[in-house]
Amino acid sequence: MALEKLDVYWPILILMAFGVLAVVGALVVSKIISPQKPTELKRQAYECGEDPVGDAWALFNMRFYVIGLIFIIFDVESALMFPVVSVFKKMNEIGRGGLVLVEIVIFLFVLIAGVAYCWRKGDLDWVRSFQTPDKEKES
């Protein structure tokens, strides 16, 4: 027996450490051999040649958040689907595939109902057919 049970996770740790060390190491080397002459103009944020106005950390639209929420729900759904789907073939071989298939289909149909609802109500549209406030239109 060559490996202990947890040894299979070595590469994850090593590769991610490589990822960190490569960036840090290259930055250190670059710091040593590259010129370092920062000037005020160089260090300005790029705004097509104008002086930057204010900073970029502005309020963003709500729909990014909605997309994030819908994504998490699908993410959890896929996390639940993975184990069930991976045993489907074996269950099919011992003759219980129909039952599992029905379970998967029910699970997915409940979610499809949710997607259909969101679709019908326009929550999946990036550009809404009705805009909220008059303030946005004025500005």
Partner 1 sequence: MFGNILFLVSALFSVLGAVGVVATKNIMHACVYLLMSLIGVAGLYLTLGADFVAATQLVVYVGGVVILMVFAVMLTGGADSQKSNRFGIKKTPMMGSIGTYIAGGISAILASYIVIFRLLPKVFEAQPVNSTMAFDKTVEKIGMLLVSDHVLAFEISSVLLLGALVGAAVIARPKRN
Partner 2 sequence: MNETIVTYFAKFEWYKSLVKALTEMLGFNAEPLMVFLFFFLAAFIVVNVMAVTAGLATYAERKISADLQLRMGPNRVGPYGLIQFLADGVKFIMKEGIIPKSADKFLFTLAPILCLAGVLGSLTVVPYSSGFILSDLDIGLFFLIGISSLVGLGIFLGGYASNSKWAMLGGMRAAAQIISYEIPVVISGLSCVLLAGGLSFTTLIEAQTGFPQGWFVFHNPFTFIGFFVFFIGGLAETNRAPFDLPEAESELVSGYHTEYSGMRFAFFALAEYIEVFVVSGVAVALFLGGYNVPFGLGGDGILGQFLQLGAFFSKTLALYYVVIWFRWTLPRLRVDHLMTLCWKYLTPIAIFNLIGTGFWLYGFEGKSLFELLFKSGAAAAGGGH
What residues between 71 and 130 interact with partner 1 by CB under 8 A? 71-73, 75-80, 82-87, 90-91, 99-100, 103, 106-108, 110-111, 113-115, 117-118, 121, 123, 128, 130
Rounded distance between C-alpha atoms, residue 92 and residue 69, angstroms? 34
Type of residue at 26: A
Q: What sign has the CA pseudo-torsion 120, 121, 126, 130?
A: positive
* Ranges within 101-120 binding partner 2 (CB under 8 A): 101, 104-105, 108, 111-112, 115, 119
* Residues in the chain, overall count: 139
Backbone angles phi, psi at 43, to 5 degrees: -90, 5
Provide the mask over 25-44, with x wherever binding to partner 1 is found by CB under 8 A and - wherever it is not. Answer: --------------------
Q: Is 139 near partner 1 (CB under 8 A)?
A: no
Distances 84 to 34, 37, 46, 89, 99 between C-alpha atoms, Å = 54, 58, 50, 10, 12
Type of residue at 42: K
Residues at the interface with partner 1 (CB under 8 A): 4-7, 9-10, 13, 55, 57-60, 62-66, 68-73, 75-80, 82-87, 90-91, 99-100, 103, 106-108, 110-111, 113-115, 117-118, 121, 123, 128, 130-132, 134
